[in-house]
Amino acid sequence: MSPKLLSLALVATSTAAFAAGCRGQTSEEPPVHIIGDMDWQAHRRAQSDSPLFADKRASRPIDKRTVSKGHLKDDDAMYRGVDAKGAAVARVPFEVTEATLARGQERFNIYCAPCHDQTGAGNGLVAQRSGGAFAGITQLYVDRLKTAPDGEIFQTITMGKGRMPGYASQIPEEDRWAIVSWVRVLQQSQAASINDVPEAERGQIQAQEASK
């Protein structure tokens, strides 16, 4: 056999033997690392200490300036209820549809009605069963709130006010605006007259009132 063929045969045999040794057989010898990559770089385990940082923590806190992709929320009107000058926006910053109002009613009845009741009169179950501890819950159709900007009500839902906690962690921004829209419906309903009812439906209401 020529030297060249002998060399090729030895290489082939060595390769086959090496491959056979990588087919799952157990061994007490440490594994062979052909390419070490980053296996031996200096590193610290999670929750361990590190002399590199002043607080000695190897696990670094998340930078407060870090924003998840797609969650920048740079629209102040939508996400904070204010305009470029920091003043509360006058109106909901998107088109209010029938679906918006339906969503607002649903969310209001879940989060707001326990205190404000479903009409906004401030006589929810919390007030009824608190033994007077939560008396005086604000009526949502008082003149002060009827003339308040939508952004102010949005901010109150977001951050809370007085005894009312903030709901930012529970209610997404769009749902908060939907609640604001439904509050406007409740306010209008408390001051509505028969003339505000569609003419086709007035007869039914008048008949109900007459039967009382």
CATH number at residue 123: 1.10.760.10
Domain membership of residue 201 (yes or no) is no
Confidence of residue 159 (pLDDT cuts 50, 70, 90): very high
Per residue in 75-103, pLDDT (tens digit) is 999 999 999 999 999 999 999 999 999 99
CA distance 174 to 111: 15
For the segment 48-58, the average pLDDT, to the nearest whole number, is 91
Count of structural domains within the chain: 1
Q: What is the pLDDT of residue 11?
A: 56
Tens-digit pLDDT profile for residues 8-25: 656 556 565 555 555 567
46 pLDDT above the threshold of 60? yes
* Residue 161 belongs to a domain: yes
Q: Residue 119: what pLDDT? A: 95
Give the three-class secondary structure for 57: strand
- Report the distance separating Cα 43 and Cα 111, nearest Å: 47
The angle at the Cα of 105, spanning 104 to 108, to the nearest 5 degrees, equals 80
Which pLDDT does position 158 carry in this prediction?
98
Residue-level pLDDT at 42: 75
Is 207 inside any structural domain? no
Instruction: Tell me if 102 is assigned to some domain.
Output: yes
Domain of 132? 76-191
User: Which pTM value belongs to this model?
Assistant: 0.68
